Each structure stands twice: as C-alpha cells, then as structure tokens.
Amino acid sequence: MARDKAAQLKALERQVRNAADLPLYAYRKENEYQAVVGEGSPEARVMFIGEAPGKQEALKGRPFVGSAGRMLDGLLESIGLARGDAYITNILKDRPPENRAPQPKEIEAYTPYLRKQIEIIQPRVIVTLGRFAMDFILGEFRMPEQGQKISDLHGRPLKAKASFGSLIVLPLFHPAFALYRRDQKETLEKDFQALKAYV
Ligand code: URA
C-alpha cells in the first residue's frame, strides 16, 4: 500500500513536470525553474498546503525551503513533528512571477493535481497555510465555514468529510506573514499547538 501511494505520487510528479498546458509552465522553463509538486511521507497523517513556491523553492524543486520554510521548520519542531513524516505541498506547483498572488485561472488549472494528492495520501489532518489554501479546502469539502475569513477561523480545528472519510482542517496564517511581525508569529506558534493532538 505504501509503495502504491509512493508510486502514485511519483506518477503525479511526472505529470506536473510535463504538463505544458499549465499557465506557469512557460515561465518555469524560461527561468530554468522547477515544478514544486510536494514532498514528504506518502503515509503522512498531516498534510500542509501553502500558496505557491517562491524563488528558492522553484530553484530547488522543493516546497518551503526559503525563509517561510525556516519558519515552518521551527513550528514543526515545536510540536515534535518531523518534516519527513508530514506531506508538504502548495496550491500552485509553479512560482508566479514576482511572487504575486495566485490568479483564479491558475488555481483552477493546478488544483486538480492537489485534489489527486489529497486522494492518494488520505490525510487525517489538512493544515492550510494562508487564505488561498484555506478558501480552496473549505470549498473543496463544502464546509459550512465557506466564505468566512482567516482572521476568524485561524487555529480552529474544523471537521470535514472527504470521499475517504472524515478529517480535520486546521486553517493557519501563512508563515511568511509571521516573518516580520512578532504578534503574527506568536499567534502562529499558539495556533500550531492545536496540531499536537493529531501527531
Ligand atoms: N510559500 C508558500 O506558500 N509555499 C512555499 O513552498 C514557499 C513559500
């Protein structure tokens, strides 16, 4: 089963790398960037979903390896969750120019791959990092909290129902937000503790 999940994720990675119809594919190639599909354990109980790769991520082909990634690493350590035991991915699998916010058409084009990742991994907990991931997941699972703001929902474990069973969705602020704001960092650190019950 584990081999099966790993093989399915590998196949999905290949698909994303070769999907020339993706809206940011040409930009990826022009800049010699890599697609950032996701990484971690195929058996992860906890899945993190960010917004889109930044420059460091696109150069290395790995999610959350720049400054926001260092913040995430510290948060993971604070609850004793090894990075390799979780699965980390993003809404977009390519870096948008100048790190601008994902556009609706881009979200539409990339999220079928995210949907597939969720189906393969079947996590018990999905942690959304930032507003874009939260909005997508609330809509995806038709959750009653749809349309609510991240400032109201952050740090609250929410119940959701997926095709493979029930799961918890934990909306968090994006770690990049907390880089330069002490109050945001404290909020994120506090919110992160809610995850302890699930690791
Ligand atoms: N920000 C994100 O949302 N994702 C990354 O992978 C890096 C920074």
pLDDT of residue 199: 87
The answer to whether the CB of 102 is under 6 A from ligand 1 is no
* 3-state class (DSSP) for residue 47: strand
The predicted-structure confidence for 5-31, as pLDDT tens digits, reads as follows 999 999 999 999 999 999 999 999 999
Which string of b and e fits 132-149 if b means at least 16 CB within 10 Å?
bbbbbbbebbebebeebe
121: CB partners within 8 A, 6+ apart: 5, 9, 42, 43, 44, 47, 87
The predicted-structure confidence for 142-191, as pLDDT tens digits, reads as follows 999 999 999 999 999 999 999 999 999 999 999 999 998 999 999 999 99
Give the pLDDT band of residue 3 (cuts 50, 70, 90): confident
The answer to whether the CB of 52 is under 6 A from ligand 1 is yes
Distance of CA 74 from the midpoint of ligand 1 (Å): 15
Distance of CA 98 from the midpoint of ligand 1 (Å): 13
92-102 mean pLDDT: 96
What count of residues does the chain have? 199
Distance of CA 92 from the midpoint of ligand 1 (Å): 9
The answer to whether the CB of 175 is under 6 A from ligand 1 is no
Give the chain's count of helices (H) and strands (E).
8, 6
Element (H, E) at 7: helix 2-18
126: CB partners within 8 A, 6+ apart: 46, 47, 49, 118, 137, 160, 167, 168, 169, 170
Alpha carbons 167 and 43: distance in angstroms, whole number: 15
Alpha carbons 91 and 134: distance in angstroms, whole number: 10
Q: Does residue 192 register a pLDDT over 70?
A: yes
Task: Give, for ligand 1, the residue of 64, 135, 177 to mutate: max count of ligand atoms closer than 8 Å to Cβ.
Answer: 64
* 3-state class (DSSP) for residue 41: coil
Mean pLDDT of the chain: 97
The ligand 1 atom nearest the CA atom of 57? 6
